[in-house]
Structure 1
Amino acid sequence: QHLLNTPIPHRLLIGKVLTKGLGAGSEPEKGQAAAEEARTELLDACHGADIVFLTGGLGGGTGTGSLPVIAGLARERGALTIAIVTLPFSNEGARRMSNARLGLEKLRKEADTVIVIPNDKLLQDDISKLPLDQAFRQADEILANAIKCMSEITSHSGLVNIDFADMRSIMYEGGVAMIGMGEGQGPDRATDAVTAALTSPLLELEIDQSKGALINVTGGDDMTLEEAHQVVKEVHSKINKEARIIWGASIDSTLEHQVRVMLVVTGVKSSQILGPSPGVDDELQGRYGIEFVQ
């Protein structure tokens, strides 16, 4: 049903035999089997791709079960694999959250980098005041903007360019990551832009032990080299001193007296997504042989 309503021209139905085009019934095992059934088609879809972006919601059956399989197939094809996923609302029940964490742990093993957005954070934002359909549409836009930012960072030429090799060096086996965008105006616009970017993600993160950072600085015609370096300096002061930093800079004449920062920080930690719910650690060990170390 969802595939029929999406405007995307290239669509692939998984589980034609297993689910007969229906959902996975909130059973991750069925979602996994559906993806494995379509292994050949999925491998063909990933053929020749340098980067594969995966998006989905964890906690149900299709996304939770299929995303780790698809991520593994994409990496098998040699693609840099980046997943952007949501965790369910806490009031959706312990079982759904348990499924989500099980799926997330498997996805972290298969994808190079995973960016996680807990739906509960939407309740702490202005999004919570919107009508339901608008709220979910805006949540979808957050995922779409994250992909747009990362895809544009290597496709747009600038004064200091970031190419695919640069991006791969940061995102390859990057683990859990954050992505943020911020803008600044006035005399401290570079610092303000970095601060806004670091506080913009819908996730509580610890970045002081991060593994790498990809920074793109965009400003108007009046942006100076010193300001671009100031952005990099500000990021470096807040992350692991041993983290690898790659940055680029470009001019956008429409940004009058503004500086815009887009950054991706990999290898971050978050108690929201790395600290399992009660009983989940036992289930992880029982079903997958995974043990959490507290």
Structure 2
Amino acid sequence: MENNDFLENISITPKNWEEDKSIIKVIGVGGGGCNAVSYMYSQNISGCSFIVCNTDAQALKKSPVPFKIQLGAGLGAGCDPIKGRNAAIEAQDDIAKKVLDNNTQMLFITAGMGGGTGTGAAPVIADMAKKRNILTVAIVTLPFKNEGNESLSKAIDGIHELEKCVDSLLIINNEKLYEYYGDLLVHDAFPKADEILATAVKGIIEIIQKPGYINVDFADVKTMMKDSGMALMGCGTGTGENRIDDAIRQALESPLLNDFDLKTAKNVLINITIGKNEQGLSMKGLDDINNKIKEYTGNANNFKRGIIFDEDPEIGDRINITAIATGFKMSQLNDITDVSQGNIIVIRNDYDGRRLPGEQIELPEVAARKIGPTNATNVRRFNFIGKEKPVLIVEPGQNFSHLEGESARARAIRRMSESGDSGQD
């Protein structure tokens, strides 16, 4: 009874909730996601609506974001992704009404992977949005390694689940805070991940909303990000003599983004904002930007460039560059794909490793863990679930990137040849 009285005294959503007219919405899921969205809200980013949702009613109450959705009873998920998932399923009607209305065309989902609410609930919300043909982009964080293998294992499982339900997925590696901001005080270093996330979201919104001389609109962004897999987004600013180099480096070498090889990107969108004044950009300078960006990106299948002239006199000689690169493979992320000897990964592939559009299979609530440390329950074991095809065997010292160029059938023949067994009588 005391718990019920406590929860009834918490104002979760505005009483006079009105349908939001914004086409872009940003929702924070769980503790980490809510912190990130609260930071963005405090930066007065315009052109989108912010929502926070959590299973922890007390944490939800502390957020300055006015639009809140409580998941479940409000007592937290206890680091259990199943509880987070079920709480989101229970709140589907509320989420659909307040987040996925008819005005919403693009949804950013932010979450910290490795806990209960973000890991479990984010894929549910993403799946709801994707089924409504809303452009769905998730920006999530990996836990610190010192949080333990269990947290990292949950994070990896959550990321694999989320990848199925979004158009684009961007991963921020918290571990890099030590590498790039090791000398900062803790209270100054932790917000850096939120700053990177906020800058990425703000950059996308400005691309869509600000008309350009060479224009990039929502349709262009959707073409770049729809069903595009892993993504990288960055924004850079430069002034003075080295303004071009500084802006490009900041945009394409963000320290907390993962180490993708930009030359493997399938789609690249670059938006350049410059002043419409005597300190603006010369044609030679524009050519310099194009050549320097090409050094990073190579020849992407789909390249789009936009230019915005900013008439604000305060812009001076400043150059702003926003970059979106998509179409990367999950196998390029060592933190996600490095696996130990004996790990078994269930996949829906045909026997020689090429993905086929098979029928959807209803999986049980708790499936075998896909990636994790070797233990007695997953060492060299074949797991067949329903009509799924045989598992992928990962050999010692290998990760997914080693296997991309060799089919399972060819690999099996090679293994038999190496062992002296041709497979024939």
- TM-score scaled by structure 2? 0.63
- Count of aligned pairs: 289
Match of 2:417 in 1: none
Alignment counterpart, residue 334 of structure 2, candidates 272, 277, 292: 272
Counterpart code for 2:96: L
Are the counterparts in 1 of residues 199 and 235 from structure 2 also a CA contact under 8 Å?
no
Q: Which residue is 1:228 aligned to?
A: 286
Say if 2:207 is the partner of 1:158: no
Greater fraction helix? 1
Q: Which amino acid aligns with 2:83?
A: K
Of residues 65, 70, 79, the one that matches 2:134 is 79
Name the structure 2 match of 1:251.
309
Q: Deviations over 1:227-253 (max 9, x none)?
A: 334423432343252421112111234
Superimposed CA distance per residue, residues 186-223 of structure 1 (whole angstroms, 9 cap, x where no aligned partner): 56643443233211241222221111111111123221
SS in 2 for 1:141: helix
* Equivalent position to 1:5, from 59, 62, 72: 62
2:177 counterpart letter in structure 1: L
**Following TM superposition, by how much is the alpha carbon of 1:277 offset from its aligned partner in structure 2, in angstroms?**
4.4
Cα-to-partner distance string for 1:97-150 (whole Å, 9 max, x where unaligned)? 000011011111111111111110111122x33333333233222222221111
Task: After TM superposition, give the deviation of residue 39 of structure 1 in Å.
Answer: 1.5
Equivalent residue of 1:104, what SS?
helix
Q: CA deviation at 1:267?
A: 1.8
Contact map agreement 1:217 1:231 (CA 8 A) in 2: no
| Structure 1 pair 267–137 and aligned structure 2 pair: CA distance change class (3 A) | same
User: Structure 2, unaligned stretches of length 5 or more?
Assistant: 1-57, 348-367, 371-384, 386-390, 395-399, 404-425
The structure number with the bigger radius of gyration is: 2
User: 1:71: Cα distance to partner?
Assistant: 0.6
Task: Specify whether residues 274 and 117 from structure 1 end up closer, same or farther in structure 2 by C-alpha distance, changes over 3 A only.
Answer: same
CA RMSD across the alignment? 2.4
Residue 158 of structure 2 is matched in structure 1 by 103
The one-letter code of the counterpart of 2:309 is I
Give 5+ residue unaligned stretches, structure 1: none
Q: Percent identity?
A: 35
CA 279–92 in structure 1, closer or farther in 2 if over 3 Å, else same: farther
User: Paired residue for 2:82?
Assistant: 29
Residue 319 of structure 2 corresponds to residue 263 of structure 1: no
Distance 1:87 1:183 in 2: 27
Cα pair 1:170 1:213 within 8 Å, conserved: yes
Give the corresponding residue for 1:139: 193
Equivalent position amino acid for 1:35 in 2: A
Q: Does the 8 Å CA contact 1:43/1:77 hold for their aligned counterparts?
A: no
Query: Which among 97, 100, 114 is matched to residue 169 of structure 2?
Result: 114
Report SS of the residue matched to 1:71: helix
Report how far residue 255 of structure 1 moved. 3.1
SS in 2 for 1:124: helix
State the distance in 2 between where 1:62 and 1:281 align.
Answer: 26
